[in-house]
Amino acid sequence: MSEFRLELRSDAALVFQHLPLVYVECMLMIPQTLDDDDERLRARLFPDVYLDDEDNAEWERYGKPELFALFASQSEIVRKDLQGLAPEAEGFGYRLVVPAQHRVGWMAALNAARLMLAEKHGIQAVDMNRPLDVDEPTEKDFALFRIDRLGELEELFVQAGDVELG
């Protein structure tokens, strides 16, 4: 049986090999999560930055649109890379190649998806350390599970090291 591996190629692309289905499922839900238009979730990612209403209005007019554009591009990067997801030729799991220039977008998308899931399901810091109810799991338990898996994936991106991302 083949084991899950992450390879850092010479071109700095990350190659997930024998990726278990549970991680694939969590990855596939990233674009859908990021595309959620719920204002409460958007406010978690893009909070007011000034106490002064006038300053905040200026931020809304000039700063936020650029962040929204960056956010949309991260979602699109993940969506396009996931189109290359394929079953392994031998053994179990899936293979996914993340080009070097997409790594930062993936890390941002993983983090944003985790934040949005936490906000959507009312997850607090204290919930992150509690055991999941596997006998009668709630939506919150499923969200915690997905947040943990996405966090593990994000950690793999970080551990892959700082390389020139051109």
Contact 64, 46 (CB under 8 A): yes
Within the chain, residue ranges assigned H as helices are 21-28, 30-34, 39-45, 53-62, 64-82, 103-120, 139-159
Mean pLDDT of the chain: 88
pLDDT > 80? residue 125: yes
pLDDT > 50? residue 164: no
Mean pLDDT of the 148-163 span:
87
Q: Which of 55-64, 85-94, 119-128 has the least mean pLDDT?
A: 55-64
pLDDT of residue 2: 63
Which amino acid appears at position 52 of this protein? D
DSSP tag of 132? P
pLDDT of residue 166: 41
- The pair of structure tokens assigned to 145 is 């599970």
